[in-house]
Amino acid sequence: MSEQFDKNDNSVSARVLIVDDMPVNRTILSSMLTTMGISCDLAASGSECLDMCVGTAYDLILLDHRMPDMDGVETLMHLKEIFRRTGHDTPVICHTVDDGKNYINLYKAAGFADVLIKPADPGKVMMMLMTYLPNGGFTLPEEEEKKLHAEAELASLPDWLKTVPKLDLMSGISHCETATEYLDALATFTGSIREKSDDIERFLKEENWPMYLLRVHSLKSVARLVGADSLADKAADLEYAGEQGEYALVYALTPAMIEEYRSFSGKLERLGTSQETQAPASRSILFIGDDNGVVVRGITKALEDEDFRVIHVKDIPEVILNHRADSDLLIYYPSGDNDHIRSVTTMLAEMCRDDDKTLCIAGDPLDIEAAKDIHDSDAICATYPRPINLDKMAADMLGYFYMHSGNDRMRTILVIDDDPDFLHIIKRWLSESFTVDCSHSGAAALAYLDRKRPDLILLDYEMPGMNGEQVMQRIRSNPSNDRVPIVFLTGKNDKEGVLKILEQRPDGYLLKSMPREELLDSLHEFFEQSAASFSMSAANSSAGSGLEK
C-alpha cells in the first residue's frame, strides 16, 4: 500500500514521488521536501511506483537504485514506456549510496536526469529541486539560519541521548531536519536491530551472498542517516569486500560490525516502541540528600511514575558507601555549606569513575555550581537546576538506565601520565567514546588496579619516581592484571627512543602529538581487533603515527 499525502492540496505547485524500499529513507526525504513546501507521494517498491505513475503525472521522481524486487534501472525502463504513452516526460533522479557517485555517467546514460547521493544533504536536495521542478518556489536558507535551527533542534533532544557513544546527533539532525523526525528515525533504526543483525549472521552462515550484501547495503544507508557513522563505515567496507569476492575478509570483519550494531539496541532501547511497556525489575535510583521538601517529593513521584524504585540516603559518606551497590544511577540533591557539597560530590565522582555509574545533580543553582567546583567535574553527566522539568528528568533517567542495562558498555581506558594538563586534555578527547580514568603516577595507577580492571592502559614512558617501563613490569607481574593491554602514549618520536620503548614489547605505541581523530581511530581499531594482531614490527617507523600492526 502506498503512503500518500493529500493530493487535493492546491497550496503547492509541484508534486514529487519518492520511491525507496526503506521506510526511514522515505520518511526523511518526505520530511525535507514538505518543510520546503513540496508535496510528496511515497512508494515502497518499483512496481508500486509504476502503478502510481499510471494515474498521476508527477513533476519529479526520486528513485532508489537498489531495491529487492525491481531495481532502479529496470523501474526506469518501465517508467519511460509510461511516459511515452502519456506524453509526460518526468525527470527521474537516481537516489543512491555514496559509492554511486563513481557511476554518475552510467546512471545518466541509463536515462536518469541526475544522481542524489544518500544520505541526502538538505542543501543539495534544494538545489536539485530548484533545477528540475517547475517554478522553483523556494530559496536556499542562510547558513546562519540553518546553523541556529540545527542547534535548537539538538538542544531539544534528551540529555541521556547526547551521551550515547558512536552516534553523531548533529549529523542525524542535519539529515532529518527536526528533532522529532530524528527520534522517529532512531526508533525505526533501533526497532529492527535484532531482526536485521540475525539476518546478516544467517545469510553469512548460509553463504547467501546476494541477500547478505542487500542487508549490509541497507544497514549502511540507515546507519549513515541516523549519524551512526562508524557502523556505516564498517558496513560499507563489508559491502565492498563482498562485491569483490573477498569472503575471507567478510568472515573476519562481520563480527565487529554485528557487535557494534547490536550495542545500539541497549543504548537506544528507550526509543523503541516494542520495549516501552517492558519495565525491568531492577530499575532503581540512589537519591542522595535530604528526602524532605516538595521538590524532592515531586522528583520521587516523577521517577516512581516511570517504575523506578527510589532509594533515599543521607549525604553522609559512610551511609552512601553502604548503598554503593544499590544502583548504577545516582542523583545528588546538595545542601549545606559549599565545602560539604564539594566533599560529597568528589566522593560520588570517584565512585562513578570506579564503578561505571551515572551521576546527576539536581537542586538550587548555587548548590549545583558548588558541586561542579571539583577537579573531577567531568564525571557529572547532567544537572537539573530548579525549577526542574520533572518529565524531562524522568525521561533522561530512563535513558541512562537502558544504557546501563544494555548488552554493551563503553570501554574503560586508564591513562597514566604525570602531566595534569595532558590528563585533562586526553580525558576530554576520549570521554565521548570511552570511560576514561586517570592516574598521575605509577603508584596511583597500581592502587587503582587493585580495585578495578580497565580494558586498556595508555601509559606515558617518562615519568618521575617510576617510569613507564617499571610501571608496565609491575602491572604484568600481577596475575590479575597481566592480560590488560598496555599501549605507550608518549612524546618520544626519535628512532632511538622508539626502539627503546618497543624493546619492552607493549601492545602498541602512540604519539601525544597525534590529532584527536587519528588517536580515536587508532583506539577504536585496537578494540575491534584482537590485541594479538598488533605486532611490534614498527621499529623502523620513527613517526609512530598509530597503533603498530
Dmax (CA) for the chain in angstroms is 86
Measured distance CA(238)–CA(385) in Å, rounded: 47
Residue 231 confidence (pLDDT) above 90: yes
Measured distance CA(541)–CA(543) in Å, rounded: 5
Residue 186 confidence (pLDDT) above 50: yes
Q: Mean pLDDT over residues 135-145, rounded? A: 50
| Predicted pLDDT at 152 | 74
| Predicted pLDDT at 279 | 35
**Which domains are delineated in the chain?**
3-140 (3.40.50.2300), 144-276 (1.20.120), 284-405 (3.40.50.2300), 412-540 (3.40.50.2300)
| Predicted pLDDT at 139 | 43
List C-alpha distances in Å: 106 to 76, 91, 97, 159, 471. 13, 16, 15, 45, 60
Q: Which residues pair with 510 in a beta bridge?
A: 489
Q: Cell digits for 443? A: 603508584
More confident position, 438 or 482 = 438
| Predicted pLDDT at 27 | 82
Q: What is the DSSP letter of 223?
A: H
Q: How many CB atoms neighbour CB 36 within 10 A?
A: 21
- DSSP string for residues in 323-374: TTTS-SEEEEE--S-HHHHHHHHHHHHHHHHHHT-EEEEEE-HHHHHHHH-S
Q: Which residues pair with 43 in a beta bridge?
A: 19
Question: How many residues in the chain?
Answer: 549
| Predicted pLDDT at 132 | 82
More confident position, 539 or 455 = 455
Choose the weakest-confidence range: 43-52, 59-68, 142-151, 538-547: 538-547
Q: Taking a C-beta distance cutoff of 8 angstroms, is the pair 128, 92 a contact? A: no
Strand 3-4 versus strand 39-43 pairing type: antiparallel
Measured distance CA(49)–CA(47) in Å, rounded: 5
* Three-class DSSP labels, 399-447: HHHHHHHCCCCCCEEEEECCCHHHHHHHHHHHCCCCEEEEECCHHHHHH
Q: Mean pLDDT over residues 330-353, rounded? A: 92
Which amino acid appears at position 212 of this protein? Y
The vertex-239 CA angle with 94 and 516, nearest 5°, equals: 100
| Predicted pLDDT at 548 | 40
Which residues have C-beta within 8 Å of that of residue 407, sequence separation ≥ 6?
262, 263, 265, 266
More confident position, 151 or 62 = 62
Choose the weakest-confidence range: 194-203, 266-275, 487-496: 266-275
Burial of 7 (0-12, 13-18, 19+ CB in 10 A): exposed
In three-state secondary structure terms, 155 is helix
| Predicted pLDDT at 102 | 62
Measured distance CA(308)–CA(304) in Å, rounded: 5
φ/ψ region of 286 (left if φ > 0, alpha if ψ in -120 to 50, else beta) reads beta
Measured distance CA(165)–CA(430) in Å, rounded: 11
Helices and strands in the chain, H and E counts:
22, 16
Q: How many CB atoms neighbour CB 245 within 10 A?
A: 10
Q: Taking a C-beta distance cutoff of 8 angstroms, is the pair 188, 204 a contact? A: no
In three-state secondary structure terms, 490 is strand
Measured distance CA(323)–CA(338) in Å, rounded: 24
Radius of gyration for the chain, computed over Cα atoms and rounded to the nearest angstrom: 27
| Predicted pLDDT at 260 | 92
Q: Mean pLDDT over residues 113-117, rounded? A: 86
Of the pLDDT bands very low, low, confident and very high (cuts 50, 70, 90), residue 101 is low
Of the pLDDT bands very low, low, confident and very high (cuts 50, 70, 90), residue 492 is low
Listed residue (329, 324, 333) closest to 290, CA to CA = 333
Listed residue (320, 309, 321, 312) closest to 284, CA to CA = 309
Residue 141 confidence (pLDDT) above 90: no
Of the pLDDT bands very low, low, confident and very high (cuts 50, 70, 90), residue 467 is confident
| Predicted pLDDT at 494 | 57
- DSSP string for residues in 59-103: SEEEEES--SSS-HHHHHHHHHHHHHHHT----EEEEE-GGGGGG
Listed residue (54, 60, 58, 103) closest to 81, CA to CA = 54
Which residues have C-beta within 8 Å of that of residue 450, sequence separation ≥ 6?
none
Of the pLDDT bands very low, low, confident and very high (cuts 50, 70, 90), residue 294 is confident
Residue 145 confidence (pLDDT) above 50: yes
End-to-end Cα, the chain, rounded Å? 52
